[in-house]
Amino acid sequence: MDNLVSILVPVYNREHFIAETLHSALSQTYKNIELIVVDNASQDDTWRVILDFAAKDSRVKAFRNETNIGPVKNWKRCIEKASGFYGKILWSDDLISPNYLAKCLPLFDEETAFVYSGVKIFTDSPEDGDACYFIGNTGLRKSSEYITRALIDNNVPVSPGCAVFRLDDLKKNLLVDIENRVNSDFSMHAIGNDLLLFLLTAKDYKKFGFVAEALSFFRAHPGSITISSVDGKLPLHYMLVRAYFAERFKNDMIDQVAANAWFLLKKYPSHSSFGINDLSDFFCDDVKINYNFFALSLIKRLVWMPVRVARKIFRMLEGKK
C-alpha cells in the first residue's frame, strides 16, 4: 500500500507543543505523507514554529486563517486543503509513534471504515501514560460493535486523534453543525462532532480496524479538552450526539441511550445551565421513554458496579507495565 496519507493538524496557540507534534508526524516510517497544518489565527509564536518546519520539509503545507473561525471549521479547512487518499487528524498537542501509519494502514480493505490504535494519555512522558481504548487483539471487527460500544460509552475512542479514515469520509461525515433541541453550537464548543464522525462512518461499512498497541499519545494539560468535566459539559454534549445518532440510525438502541442520559442528568445537577432540563431535551423528536428498561438498567448498574471498579483497577495496572 502506497496511497498518499494527509496528516491534518489544526492548531491554535500551541507554541510549546506544536514542534513535538509536527516532528512525530514527519517521523513516520510510512513515507508517502503530506502534513497539512492550519493555524487558526494563533496569538502566540505557533505560526513562526510552523513556518520553520515548512521551510525545512516540503511535505509540510502551512496555512493560516486571518481570523479565528472556530475549532470545527478549522478542522474542515485542514480536510479541504488535503489531497491524500487517507486522512489522519493529529491534534496539535498530541503525538503518534513513528510506525503508527505503517501498522494501521495494512488493516484497511474496501469494507473497513477506519482503523485506530490503542492510546496512552500522558502528562510528561508518553510511554508512561495511562493506557486506554484496548478492546482485544489487533484485527478487524464488525462496525456494529463500534456503534454499540460508542452509544453506551464503552471503551472506544470518541476522538479521531488515534484513527485513520478515508479522506472522502472525513469530508462527508465531519459535521460542523449538529441539529439539537437545546440550540447548542457544536461548531464552537466542538464536543461531539468527533464522535459523530466515527458513528456516521461506521454505519456505511461492515468493519473497523484496531491495532492493539499504544501508537497514539494524548497529552493531558490545563489547556486540553478531556473526556471528563466537573460540571458535566462534555458528557452531556456527547450524550446529545449519541441521541442524535440513535434516533436517526439506531432506533433499537434508543432505550439504552435514554437510560444513560437519565443517569447523567442525575449525576450533573447543573445540566440546566446548558439548556438541558429533562430527558426529552436530548432528542430532536418526541421519543417515548421505556421506564421499565430504566429500572432494569439501574439494577444492572448496581450489580456490575464492583466488577467495573475491578476492571478499571486492572486496566490502570496494565497501563503501568
Boundary of a domain, candidates 168, 194, 219: 219
Do 269 and 191 lie in one domain? The reply is no
Asked whether residue 225 is domain-assigned, the answer is: no
Q: Which residue has the higher pLDDT, 299 or 319?
A: 299
Give the model's pLDDT for residue 227. Answer: 45
Do 171 and 245 lie in one domain? The reply is no
Q: What is d(CA 185, CA 180) in angstroms, rounded to the nearest whole number? A: 9
Do 176 and 278 lie in one domain? The reply is no
Do 73 and 158 lie in one domain? The reply is yes
Do 202 and 67 lie in one domain? The reply is yes
Beta-strand pair 112-122/130-132? antiparallel
Do 112 and 69 lie in one domain? The reply is yes
Asked whether residue 224 is domain-assigned, the answer is: no
Neighbours of 317 (CB within 10 A): 10
Helix (H), strand (E) at residue 294: helix 291-319
Boundary of a domain, candidates 163, 184, 219: 219
Do 197 and 131 lie in one domain? The reply is yes
Asked whether residue 227 is domain-assigned, the answer is: no
Map 66-103 to HEC letters: CCCCCHHHHHHHHHHHCCCCEEEECCCCCEECCCHHHH
Asked whether residue 228 is domain-assigned, the answer is: no
Under the banding of pLDDT at 50, 70 and 90, the label for residue 314 is: low
pLDDT digits (tens, 9 = 90+) for 91-103: 999 999 999 999 9
Q: What is d(CA 316, CA 248) in angstroms, rounded to the nearest whole number? A: 36
Q: Which of 68-77, 138-147, 283-292 has the lowest mean pLDDT?
A: 283-292
Q: Is the pLDDT of residue 160 over 50?
A: yes
Contact 288, 279 (CB under 8 A): no
If 0-12 CB within 10 Å is exposed, 13-18 middle and 19+ buried, where does residue 123 land?
Answer: exposed
The domain spanning residue 111 has which CATH number?
A: 3.90.550.10
Give the model's pLDDT for residue 228. Answer: 47
Q: What is d(CA 181, CA 254) in angstroms, rounded to the nearest whole number? A: 16
pLDDT digits (tens, 9 = 90+) for 44-59: 999 999 999 999 999 9
Q: Give me the domain span that covers residue 157.
A: 5-219
Asked whether residue 27 is domain-assigned, the answer is: yes
Boundary of a domain, candidates 219, 249, 282: 219
Segment of 35-49, 149-163, 215-229 carrying the highest mean pLDDT? 35-49
Do 242 and 209 lie in one domain? The reply is no
pLDDT digits (tens, 9 = 90+) for 216-237: 999 987 665 554 466 899 999 9
Contact 106, 165 (CB under 8 A): no
Do 73 and 201 lie in one domain? The reply is yes
Under the banding of pLDDT at 50, 70 and 90, the label for residue 114 is: very high
Asked whether residue 101 is domain-assigned, the answer is: yes
Contact 235, 138 (CB under 8 A): no
Do 118 and 167 lie in one domain? The reply is yes
Domain count, the chain: 2
Give the model's pLDDT for residue 115. Answer: 98
Distances (CA, A) of 237 to 76, 129, 173, 234, 298: 20, 26, 18, 5, 22
Q: What is d(CA 71, CA 93) in angstroms, rounded to the nearest whole number? A: 14
Cell of 51: 513556518
Give the model's pLDDT for residue 229. Answer: 61
Give the model's pLDDT for residue 299. Answer: 76
Asked whether residue 169 is domain-assigned, the answer is: yes
Looking at the whole model, is its pTM more than 0.85?
Answer: yes
pLDDT digits (tens, 9 = 90+) for 2-27: 999 999 999 999 999 999 999 999 99
Asked whether residue 71 is domain-assigned, the answer is: yes
Residues 6 or more apart whose CB falls under 8 angstroms from that of 182 comprise 240, 274, 275, 276, 281
Give the model's pLDDT for residue 263. Answer: 87
Residues 6 or more apart whose CB falls under 8 angstroms from that of 20 comprise 95
| Arithmetic mean of pLDDT, 70-86 | 98
Residues 6 or more apart whose CB falls under 8 angstroms from that of 220 comprise 121, 122, 123, 226
Do 91 and 183 lie in one domain? The reply is yes
Do 136 and 202 lie in one domain? The reply is yes
